[in-house]
Amino acid sequence: MRSFIALVLCLFHTASNAAQPNVLLIVSDDHGYNDLGCLNPDIKTPNLDRLAREGTRLSSFYVAWPACTPSRAALLTGRYPQRNGISDMIRNEAPDFGYKYEPEEYEVSFERIGGMDERELILPALLKPSGYRSAIFGKWDLGSLKRYLPLQRGFDRFYGFVNTGIDYFTHERYGVPSMYRDNALTTEDKGTYCTDIFGREALSFLESTGDQPFLLYLPFNAPHGSSALDPKIRGTVQAPDEYKAMYPPVETEFIEKARYGKKALTPTPEARQRDYRAALTCMDANIGHVLDWLDQHHKAENTLVIFFSDNGGSGGADNEPLRGHKSQMFEGGVRVPCIIRWPGHVPAGKVSDAFLTSLEVVPTILAATSTSTPSGHKLDGHDMMPVLAEGKPSPRDRMTWVRQGDQAVRWQHYKWIRTPKEEYLFDLEHDLSEKENLSESQPALLKQMRGLFDEWQTEMEQAEPRGPFRNF
């Protein structure tokens, strides 16, 4: 009798796990809004194009910050950067001017000692009570001290780098080793192109999951520029030669320009664009390996796949028809490519213009996995599935951004931006490229948008403070 009960319980547990969807969360880095093969025939992204055919592409999807660190913190917490504490970059500025840190200097720099507040809950920790096994392979960017690393935040496996960018082959950030396996610094794969490493590790993790539901977080650094002091490397995106060969050759690779107060060889704009596209295509190939594995192991039907960029494109990227680029509050800095696939839940081959953001990622995954939000834990997003699966209106009617002296609000189809030098008001429904500034012709609306920003700012100031930037 005991054996029969044990068998029933085992079957129940297996069936329960089978009903829980797996989650594959893929994030690219500085990926241009128009840089998908399904939009631009000059770009080779067959696997992302496949995702778009088999899922829904979101054309009005925003991130919470126009550059790396706060954007990635927001997507993992489901909370505004000003609420979760990562409201600016965790990085050092000196390498921007050609300076290489001595080891002793680097150990006490903010890039080394800064990190996400230990009280913050991120996605893998939230999924733990539901039995999920979680892994991250790629760019972490939320702190490099042991207490900040992914295994201390709920992940079970980690292989990746801890800063905002690296040399794709040496895995160093401006000469400083940056690749970790779990909690330990490693140079075991030095010389191997890092995008291929992250794809390899993802497949290894998938092979180990068995019947346990999983969260696989693949935050690539491609096609972000390379972080090296050598201007010939730093001025472009490193990519394997086989992927460069997939694009038309460029006539001139390098030109001489002033850098760090002296002349140096830097890549031409044509070479930079080719390298960017090659890195993007290599990333796409590794995404394809993961999608193929899901097919081969009959897990694709039960896996929610979410793909988007951490912010707008830069360097060799194409953000058309949007204005601006990474680091700016214009649409080209915060509106990004996004595709979601979940067979039987999300329509295939559809394009949705619903107003949605990366703050929706955590609530959507929690709802899909039947995971409860801890009592009293404030999320700033909504479950996207009623919008995507049932065609309901998006519950989001506004989004707010702050980056140092720049502020912005999107409310319905209006967009307000205020910088130290200028103030803008746009009607995105009729002016997606943000060419016509309505700030003088629409004073009442301008006042209303300022008021919405002030309300949001008051809410953020009243939220329980989080480090490292808040004074408490």
pLDDT-derived band at 14 (thresholds 50, 70, 90) equals: very low
Residues 6+ apart with CB under 8 A from 285: 47, 199, 243
390: left (phi over 0), alpha (psi -120 to 50) or beta: alpha
**Which residue from 382, 401, 296, 287 is spatially nearest to 339, judged by alpha carbons?**
287
Greatest pairwise CA separation for the chain in angstroms: 83
Summary mean pLDDT of the chain: 95
pLDDT tens-digit map of 175-203 = 999 999 999 999 999 999 999 999 999 99
Average pLDDT over residues 123-140: 98
What burial letters (b/e) apply to 214-242, b meaning 16+ CB within 10 Å?
Answer: bbbbbbbbbbbbbbbeebebbbbbbbbee
Domains of the chain, start order: 19-228+283-397 (3.40.720.10)
Which among 221, 307, 275 has a CA at the least distance from the CA of 23? 307
pLDDT over threshold 80, residue 7 = no
pLDDT in tens, 56-111: 999 999 999 999 999 999 999 999 999 999 999 999 999 988 899 999 999 999 99
How does pLDDT run across 418-443, given as a tens digit for each residue? 999 999 999 999 999 999 999 999 99
**What pLDDT sits at residue 9?**
38
Give the side-chain half-sphere CA count within 13 A for 249: 2
Q: What would the pLDDT profile of 333-355 be if each residue is shown by its tens digit?
A: 999 999 999 999 999 999 999 99
What tens digit of pLDDT does each residue of 388-399 get? 999 999 999 999
DSSP 29: S
Residue 8 has pLDDT above 70, yes or no: no
Answer yes or no: pTM beyond 0.85.
Answer: yes
Give the DSSP H/E element, type plus range, for residue 139. Answer: strand 133-139
Predicted confidence band of residue 15 (pLDDT cuts 50, 70, 90): very low
pLDDT at 152 over 60: yes
Give the pLDDT score at 262.
Answer: 81
Question: What pLDDT band is residue 234 in, cutting at 50, 70 and 90?
Answer: very high
